[in-house]
A and B are shown apart, each in its own frame.
Chain A
Amino acid sequence: MKPAPFEYHAPETLEEACGLLGEHGDEAKVLAGGQSLVPMLALRLTRFAHLVDVNSVRGFSGVRRENGTLVVHAGTRQRVLERDDEVGAAVPLLARAAPLIGHFQIRNRGTVGGSLAHADPASELPAVAIALGAELELARAGGATRRVPAEAFFVGTWTTAAEADELLTAARFPVRPGSCGFAIEEVARRHGDFALAGAVCAVSGDGMAGLALFGVGSVPVRAAAGEDALRAGAPAADVAEAATRDLDPPTDVHASAATRRQIARHVVERAVTRAREEQRAAN
């Protein structure tokens, strides 16, 4: 239960951090909050010759408003999402999703960027990013940056569109003006466990409709058919049916595919109902 030896790097600048990733490529792994990586190292499910600890990188954490966007820097602790008033006011879904991540001891250490880059298909933040149409900002040595839409970022279980020499530096969440409603619903065996299935819903008075599911496949899923039904004003149960019709959820020790599909339908219906209620109340 001890990690294999590795060389430890604690860069203090973004350039230095990207340089290390560029130099070591696949041999290196970014260490942020460590709440997923360190268990995998301890269980020897994985090992890396180099760990690049980004906790000391200047300007790597914190939240700022940039016109119509809330920029959450990658090193921001998940605990900040549930406590920061600016986050709660600008992107309420983040404040509501955060308490569902692990336990408070995990969120004290776990980071927003770490959760997104780890890309566990049953985790909350990737689905939130997809439902809200967030963009993820990547940097590499030399100062080159690019932005990837959340939907294109998650390509497989624990796999993202980020190259080995790229570092996730921020998530950019659109701040929706006007009357909106947001909801996240999940079913887990115990509080803090990964969800058997979960759903995120965002609606606005001007026709915005976002719907994403997690825990139902190898990646978080944007439910395009469900979004169409949502936009057309279909009853929540019909939206849920449309959103889950084509799912092919996994069977494992926690739940069968059929159970997961049923739970998925249930959480979508609940999320849609709650989001619509909130949107109507805000009108």
Chain B
Amino acid sequence: MPQIEMTVNGERRRATVEARLTLADFLRDECALTGTHLGCEHGVCGACTVLLDGDAVRSCLVFAVQAAGAHVTTIEGIGGEDGSLSAVQEAFRAEHGLQCGFCTPGFIVSVTAFLRDNPHPSDTEIREALSGNLCRCTGYQGIIRAVQRAAQS
């Protein structure tokens, strides 16, 4: 079985894994980072979104072996080291951008990457950027407001 090493939220992780193990399962089962959620496990829902060398990707569609040598940031690595919330997280809280919270890690990670690349998005761009993440509770209005607020902060 392949041996891999990668940096997750600034920490070196080493493991021997089956080639078919997804990055999502590696993060949850090997690294005990269960903030990365698995909704559909086939790339539709976006709940498992992480940053892979800075790019938002679905971690259920990347095998852990493919992330060898990479820098991965999960929802656990988005806030400050002292436990403080990021601007995006603060905005989601302030605008009620979540209800049950299952989809939230994927939204936060996606929006973090989106606003980094496009700090002053139009409403249309925000809606397009959110289209890759599914939320079954909120109806998205609070999430859209949260992104608008985070962009202004």
Contact = CB atoms under 8 A, between A and B. Distances in A.
Interface of A: 1-8, 10, 34-35, 38-39, 41-43, 51, 53, 55, 79, 99, 102-106, 108-109, 190-192
Contact of B114 (A7, A8, A42, A104): A104
Nearest to A38: B61
B80 interface: no
A104 B61 contact: no
Contacts of A38: 22, 42-43, 60-63
B132 A104 contact: yes
A249 B114 CA distance: 37
Interface in B32-72: 41-44, 46, 49, 52, 55-58, 60-63, 65-66
Given A105-B57, A109-B57, A109-B58, A8 B65 contact: yes
Contacts of B46: 103, 105
Given A104-B132, A109-B58, A43 B42 contact: yes
Residue in A34, A79, A105, A106 with the greatest tally of chain B CB atoms within 10 Å? A105
Q: Which secondary structure dominates where chain B touches chain A? A: mixed
A33 to B, nearest CB: 8
Contact of A108 (B43, B55, B60, B129): B55
A31 to B, nearest CB: 8
A55 B69 CA distance: 13
Nearest to B50: A105
B138 interface: no
Interface residues of B, number: 30
A35 B18 contact: no
A6 B20 contact: yes
B42 A105 contact: no
A38 B56 CA distance: 17
Given A104-B114, A191-B128, A191-B131, A5 B18 contact: yes
Interface string B103-130: 0000000100010000000000001110
A183 B57 CA distance: 28
Given A8-B2, A8-B63, A105 B19 contact: no
Contacts of B43: 35, 38-39, 106
A55 B55 CA distance: 15
B19 A106 contact: no
Residue in A10, A99, A104, A109 with the greatest tally of chain B CB atoms within 10 Å? A104
B65 A103 contact: no
Contacts of A190: 131
Contacts of B2: 8
A159 to B, nearest CB: 22
A103 B131 CA distance: 7
B112 to A, nearest CB: 12
A271 B60 CA distance: 36
6 contacts: A8-B63, A38-B60, A53-B66, A104-B56, A105-B132, A106-B43
Contact of B129 (A7, A42, A104): A104
Contacts of B44: 39
Contact of B58 (A41, A53, A106): A106
A192 B45 CA distance: 12
A8 B57 contact: no
A38 B64 CA distance: 12
